[in-house]
């Protein structure tokens, strides 16, 4: 299976790098500055699961069509931020010939409508990942903490040769993964958790541990989580008790230094996926008639951040 990964940032760089490290046929579609850095320094991963320094193949938008003409890719992994989605869709389009599969690993759900419209629903797998990773100033992928897993599957359920083929690549690379036969539910499990984490940690500009150490902090996180759980249920995807309890424990854990990647982006003064995650969850709450004052506060707060950021 030939894999093209758009983006060599926190997620694409980590998972694509691990695949390349294991000998999988992986190419990164990156912009010229990143291509130059990768040619010069290789793809460097700093991780509690093991550091790596990998020579990787890259293409840029200018060279992709020629590369595809020589040998098409089988799977395109999309690992951009949501605010880069339109340009990323245009960038990967030359690789999306007949029978080619795309798997996004972005957070949130809104991107599927745009991907389906452009490439056809049957060509788009469901995907998500659990990791805390960032592109450090020196260009290395900094993996923070130990979790690093991917979950993916056919959006209409069941399994398929393409899902099994990618699972085999992950297995060979030692990537923790789940080839799910109910990826739609997995997406809601993650979205309801992540929207709570992003809304809570961005609103308070603090880690989970700092929030829950404050008077009323545990109740705040639990109530915010309940708002997101109510939205999931209203969307016909109630979160199963097991997943709900694991999420709740993580969102209220004393001493936890966990924060959403959105808060890391905000702290560095960068763009945030506010509309894609917190805004989308609040819009869904409003459409379903669910009272969600904490989500609303976080969404207003993030919009103000974006306005001030310019
Ligand atoms: N980081 C994390 O811990 C986690 C992130 N996620 C989600 O994963 C998604 C990706 O996040 P993350 O990996 O952190 O993001 P990063 O910003 O670290 O990496 C995204 C990369 O995509 C590249 N890119 C964007 N558009 C294009 C384009 N048109 N052509 C080529 N390259 C492009 C960017 O390149 P350039 O540098 O040139 O702009 C950037 O390096 C997000 O939806 C995020 O919410 C999910 C779980 C954890
Ligand atoms: C919740 C977490 C850390 C899981 O991968 C995440 O997706 C994010 O912070 O963006």
pTM as predicted: 0.97
For position 123, what pLDDT does the model report? 98
Q: What is the ipTM score, two decimals? A: 0.99
Q: How many residues are recorded in the chain?
A: 310
Give tens-digit pLDDT for 241-286. 999 999 999 999 999 999 999 999 999 999 999 999 999 999 999 9
Q: Under 8 Å CB-to-CB from 22, ≥6 apart: which residues?
A: 169, 172, 173, 174
Determine whether the shortest distance from the Cβ of 189 to ligand 2 is under 6 A. Answer: no
Could you report the per-residue pLDDT of 130-179, keeping only the tens digit for each? 999 999 999 999 999 899 999 999 999 999 999 999 999 999 999 999 99
Place of tokens 């999420």: 247
pLDDT of residue 167: 98
107 Cα–ligand 2 center, Å: 8
Q: What is the DSSP letter of 98?
A: T
Domains in the chain, CATH or no CATH each: 2-180 (3.40.50.720), 185-309 (1.10.1040.10)
pLDDT the model gives residue 309: 86
Q: Is 107 in the pocket of ligand 2 (CB under 6 A)?
A: yes
Measured in Å, residue 11 CA sits from the centre of ligand 1 at 7
Residue of minimum CA distance from atom 39 in ligand 1: 31
Contact call for residues 5 and 30 (beta carbons, < 8 A)? no
Q: How confident is the model at residue 240 (pLDDT cuts 50, 70, 90)?
A: very high
131 lines ligand 2 (CB under 6 A): yes
Residue 310: pLDDT band with limits 50, 70, 90:
confident
């Amino acid at each position: 299976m030939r894999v093209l990964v758009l983006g060599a940032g926190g997620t694409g760089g980590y998972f694509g790098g691990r695949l390349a490290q294991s000998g999988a046929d992986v190419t990164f579609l990156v912009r010229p500055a990143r291509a130059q850095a990768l040619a010069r320094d290789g793809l460097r991963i700093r991780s509690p699961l093991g550091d790596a320094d990998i020579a990787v193949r890259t293409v840029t938008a200018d060279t992709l069509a020629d590369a595809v003409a020589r040998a098409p890719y089988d799977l395109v992994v999309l690992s951009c931020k949501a605010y880069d989605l339109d340009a990323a869709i245009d960038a990967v389009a030359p690789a999306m010939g007949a029978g080619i599969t795309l798997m996004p690993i972005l957070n949130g759900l809104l991107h599927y409508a745009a991907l389906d419209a452009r490439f056809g629903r049957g060509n788009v797998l469901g995907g998500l990942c659990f990791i805390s990773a960032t592109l450090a100033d020196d260009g290395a992928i900094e993996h923070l903490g130990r979790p690093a897993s991917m979950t993916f599957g056919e959006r209409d359920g069941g399994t398929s040769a393409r899902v099994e083929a990618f699972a085999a690549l992950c297995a060979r690379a030692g990537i923790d993964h789940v080839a799910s036969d109910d990826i739609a539910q997995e997406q809601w499990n993650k979205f309801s958790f992540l929207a709570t984490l992003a809304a809570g940690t961005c609103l308070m500009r603090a880690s989970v541990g700092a929030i829950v150490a404050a008077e009323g902090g545990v109740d705040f996180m639990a109530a915010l989580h309940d708002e997101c759980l109510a939205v999931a249920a209203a969307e016909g995807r109630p979160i199963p008790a097991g997943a709900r309890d694991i999420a709740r424990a993580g969102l209220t854990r004393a001493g936890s230094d966990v924060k959403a990647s959105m808060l890391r982006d905000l702290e560095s003064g960068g763009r945030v996926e506010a509309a894609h995650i917190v805004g989308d969850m609040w819009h869904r709450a409003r459409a379903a008639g669910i009272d969600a004052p904490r989500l609303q506060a976080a969404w207003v707060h993030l919009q103000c951040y974006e306005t001030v950021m310019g």
